[in-house]
Each structure stands twice: as C-alpha cells, then as structure tokens.
Structure 1
Amino acid sequence: MHPAIAYAANADAYTFQTFRALVDAIVPYTPAMAVLGAEQPIGAVQLTVHEYMIWELDHSLTLVLGAYPEAVPLAAPTAGLLNAGAVQLAASGQVKYAAPGTVPFASFSPEDRIRTLAGLENLQIDLGTLPPPYRNDGGLVKYAVDFLNRQTMFGNYSEWPAYGATRLAAPTERRLAYFPIGWLQAGYPGVSKGYRAFRGYELTIVREGGGCCIV
C-alpha cells in the first residue's frame, strides 16, 4: 500500500470525520457554480484537503516542550478541540441543526461549524474542558483556529491536491499528477521563472545644481 493511502487509512475515524467536516464548511462544494466551468463546483472535501490538514497538524507544527521545540502530532487533539467547542455550543442551546452521530462537530450544519470556530476564537468556551495541549491555554486555542482557517484555504488553492497518490508522502517524494484544480479556480497560470517582480516605484529626483534622473 502506498504510504499516502496507508496514512489516510490509519487516521482514526473521529479525527478524519472532524476534519472532513471542517474543510467542507470553509470551502464547500457548490454545484450552482458549475456554469462557470467543470472545476468550479469542486470543494475542499473533493480535493481531500482534510487529509492535508491531518498531515500538516501531525508533521509540520511544533510546540516548546521543556527548553526546545518538538514536533508534536496535533491532529487528534485539535479534533478534540473542535468537538469540545461543538459540545459547548450545543449545550448553550444555540445550535440550529444537528444530525445523529458520534462526532459532534461533524453532526452540525456548516453554519454551526463556523459558529463553533468563532466561539473558540473568541474564547467563548470553558478552557479547562479542552484536551491537552489546549487546556487552559487561550493563546494556543486562538492560534489553532487561525491556523485551521488559513491552512484549509492554502491546502485547497495550492498544488498539494494535484500530487495525487503521492500527496501524503514526504515532500521530496511528491510528484504532480495533473494541473492543480485550485489554480484553475483562482486563475493562476502556474509556475514560471519569467513573472515580473515588484522592485519599487519609479521616482524623479531633482539634483542640486540642476539636472534630474528617473530611478
């Protein structure tokens, strides 16, 4: 089995469903956009961005433990963070709809998932009920919510989904299988060494004693 497939298969269902629900709420599937082209209605779930988020949280973030930063798998604790926020939102009576299920965050409507994120970001939650390392650490909670929003968008519009079967392999082993759909959605034409770079503004400078030049 390819390492990418094995990694996705070994992620526990609770974590997998939580992140699938997260990215679906942030970049949803929009069939009404099909009139703009075949690639337009595709959302983050269709591009497997939830797998990207699990990979990034387990491999790319570090926490300072003791005197030195260490890479700490954070996907499962972050899924716990999202579900703790969902449970507290439900307890407040503010949830509009929740389907039956064992994963509270995933059972919510997309709107209530976004409201859960907002509640966490605004620290409208009992910090003592959160799983480590988020317990009683409001700064880390706010950072995590910001990361989840930004990194979902990054994963969706980057080349990562186009790595296909190698997308969850080590970065040096990834190979593009097709032109990234996120680039098509954003109108990005692809990598080129010839793109013009901003190098400052054109200014006219008048020198003492007369004369001028444009720089």
Structure 2
Amino acid sequence: MDLHLDDYLIWSLDHYISINEGSGIKNVKFSSVTAEMLDVAAMQLILSGGFKNIPNYSTNPDGGPFAALSFEDRFEEIYMLENTQVDMGSLPTPFKNNIGLH
C-alpha cells in the first residue's frame, strides 16, 4: 500500500485499455467495470456457500462483496472467473458472456 500500487492499477485500467465496438474504439473506465465484475463473481461465491472464511464487510465498509472476502477466498473467486465457473451472463459489459476478456 505504501507504493500506491492500487492507485496505479486503477489509473492504468482507466487510461490504457479501450474496447473496439462495432462503430469504433470506445474508452471505458475499466476500473469500475472490473470492480463490478469482481463483486458479481464474489456474490456468486458467497451465495453458493463456496467461501472458506465468512465474508467480513466491516473490514472495508465502503467496499463490496469482493472486499469482504478473505484473501484466500478472493483467489478462489479469481480462479472461478478464469475457469468460467461463474454465470458469465451476469457479468457487466464488456465481460458479459465474453470468455476471452475476463
């Protein structure tokens, strides 16, 4: 945290990534949709009971379901995303049903 790596990653997602939509390139704030994707997948993990540690919303009251997960459960969720073990149709655009982009 002292290196502000989190701020750098957010800035990079918002400034270096764009998507090509039918009519051309569109700049999207990828940090927001990436956070939403992680929260949607975290909620699926929580609702399935697949977590190893009870989610703790008090550690980051402004955060969503992903922030409430333990580090171990966050890695489990990312593994599930990588292996399309979440409902891909429930993810936000541009990740929705887009196996190559998650």
TM-score (norm 1): 0.43
Structure 2: which 5+ residue stretches go unaligned? none
Q: CA deviation at 1:69?
A: 2.7
Q: Could you list the per-position Cα deviations for residues 140-197 of structure 1 after superposition, in whole angstroms to 9, with x for gaps in the alignment?
A: 11xxxxxxxxxxxxxxxxxxxxxxxxxxxxxxxxxxxxxxxxxxxxxxxxxxxxxxxx
Q: 118-127 or 98-107, which moves further after superposition?
A: 98-107
Post-superposition CA distance 1:94-117 (Å, at most 9, x none): 112211255111111111111111
Aligned to 2:70: 109
User: What pairs with 1:81-120 in structure 2 (closer than 5 Å)?
Assistant: 81-97=37-53, 98-100=55-57, 101=61, 103-120=64-81
* Count of matched residue positions in the alignment of Structure 1 and Structure 2: 97
TM alignment of 1:1-215, pairs within 5 A: 45-97=1-53, 98-100=55-57, 101=61, 103-141=64-102
The equivalent residue for 1:5 is none
Query: How far apart in 2 are the matches of 1:88 and 1:82?
Result: 10
The offset of 1:67, in angstroms, is 4.1
Which structure has the bigger radius of gyration? 1
Question: For residues 61 and 69 of structure 1, what CA distance do their matches in structure 2 show?
Answer: 10
Q: Which residue of 2 aligns with 1:164?
A: none
Query: How far does the alpha carbon of each residue in 1:14-52 deviate from its partner, in whole angstroms, 9 at most, with x for none?
Result: xxxxxxxxxxxxxxxxxxxxxxxxxxxxxxx22111111
The alignment partner of 2:19 has SS state of strand
The percentage of counterpart residues that share the same residue type is 38
Does the aligned pair in 2 maintain the 1:99–1:107 contact within 8 Å? yes
Q: Secondary structure at the match of 2:40?
A: helix
CA distance in 1, matches of 2:38, 2:78: 7
Secondary structure, counterpart of 1:125 in structure 2? coil
Q: Distance in 2 between matches of 1:46 and 1:96?
A: 29
Query: 1:135: Cα distance to partner?
Result: 1.1
Matched residues in 2 for 1:65 and 1:104: separation? 30
In the alignment, residue 101 of structure 2 is paired with which amino acid? Answer: L
Superposition TM-score, scaled by structure 2 size: 0.86
1:63 shift after superposition: 0.5
